Amino acid sequence: MNNLNQIISHFSITGTVADVKPLGNGLINDTYKITTAEADAPDYVLQRINDSIFTDVDLLQHNIEEVTTHIRELLVKEGADDIDRRVLTFIKADSGKTYIKDEEGKYWRISMFIPDAVTVDAVNPESSYHAGKAFGKFESQVADITDRLGETIPNFHNMELRRDQLRQAVKEDRAGRAAGVKDFIDEIEKYMDEMCLGERLFREGKLQKHVCHCDTKVNNMMFDKEGRVLCVIDLDTVMPSLFVSDYGDFLRTAANTIAEDSPEFDKIDFRMDIFEAFTRGYVESASSFLTPLEISLLPYAAELFPYMQAVRFLWDYLNGDHYWKCSYPEHNLTRARNQWHLFLKAREHEAEMKKFIEEL
């Protein structure tokens, strides 16, 4: 507690610290709620930034500051009320930045706590519609500041990079597992050229990068007590990326009928009710900046992400399971086959997806 109070003392917060307690169950950053003693003072959120994942903390916070400042300016111009609950607010430290580096080399930041707000974990058509609407709106709000941001995780959703990593893993065969999954590798390779379409179109100038959230989980948005979306949260992965990032990543997890590491492949399907709800919300709020080509490629994005994740899980399996934690030797292979089945199921619905999008 004393160490945390020392860290907090570097930031220009209002009020007296009464209590500091762990907040939430995030897997990336250590998070605490700072409760202040005064009734008229706001509470705050203290976070330790995971610099093993986000190695350029200055760029990370630069992106977040650019995005939140820009959204705040838009809300002021619109005459919006309750602005402090509609966009995250980060507090300046005595360094002049929105973060500090402590004596142990750890990075910390503080933002204002949003009162009377909740997140939801349930994935259903209603929450998926709200997610689509919220993330599409977020992208539309920051569509004109792409050139002011950098990539905090370069090539995060680059399919050509994942292709090259898989092929290198097959070639090196560090864990001696390639021969046992040769048929699976061959099946994946049949679709590789098709799935690298996005990068080719980008090089040809037919697609451009947008500011994307890049972690579009249903619980990364805040609701008020009436069930209205207040704002999008968890902005660490905000960066320029192709449109496929936010759209495809949400559907990869939300539209799967089972958990991504379940071996019950016969129970896997691509949930069209989730697809339709999320797509409706997303297109409603993102159509202001999406091009006709991007809208026509939404089914491709829905197929791309389970395919890419299958490739990544298989890559880790072939390398000896060093990236993801595994509970048993074949865990990554099970994950890869799970995502592969989801990819195939999404392809079965491709014509249906295209028809739905055309009718929107």
Q: What pLDDT is recorded for position 1?
A: 55
Q: Is the pLDDT of residue 27 over 70?
A: no
The dihedrals phi and psi of 336, each to the nearest 5 degrees, come to: -60, -45
State mean pLDDT over 111-132. Answer: 93
State mean pLDDT over 97-122. Answer: 94
Q: What CATH class is the domain 2-112? A: alpha beta
Exposed e or buried b for every residue in 320-351, given b needs 16+ CB within 10 A? ebeeeebeeebbbbbbbbbbbbbbbbbbebee
Q: What pLDDT is recorded for position 228?
A: 87
Q: What pLDDT is recorded for position 25?
A: 60
Quick one: what percent of the chain has pLDDT higher than 70? Answer: 98
2 pLDDT tier (thresholds 50, 70, 90): low
Average pLDDT value over all residues in the chain = 94
Is 2-112's fold the same as 125-359's? no
Tell me the per-residue pLDDT of 273-312, one tens digit each, with 9 for 90 and over: 999 999 999 999 999 999 999 999 999 999 999 999 999 9
Tell me the per-residue pLDDT of 300-310, one tens digit each, with 9 for 90 and over: 999 999 999 99
Q: What pLDDT is recorded for position 26?
A: 53
288 C-beta neighbours (distance < 10 Å), count: 12
Q: Is the pLDDT of residue 46 over 70?
A: yes
State mean pLDDT over 112-120. Answer: 93
Q: How many CA atoms lie within 13 A of 296 on its CB side?
A: 5
345 pLDDT tier (thresholds 50, 70, 90): very high
Domain-by-domain residue ranges, the chain? 2-112, 125-359
- In whole angstroms, give the CA distance from residue 238 to residue 29: 15
Q: 244 and 137 in contact (C-beta within 8 Å)?
A: no
Q: Is the pLDDT of residue 344 over 70?
A: yes
Tell me the per-residue pLDDT of 181-206, one tens digit each, with 9 for 90 and over: 999 999 999 999 999 999 999 999 99
Run of H or E residues at 353: helix 350-359
Name the residue among 140, 156, 131 with its Cα closest to residue 211: 140
State mean pLDDT over 5-18. Answer: 96
Multiple choice CATH, 125-359, 3.40.140.10, 3.90.1200.10, 3.40.50.2300, 3.40.50.1220: 3.90.1200.10
Name the residue among 157, 137, 135 with its Cα closest to residue 234: 135
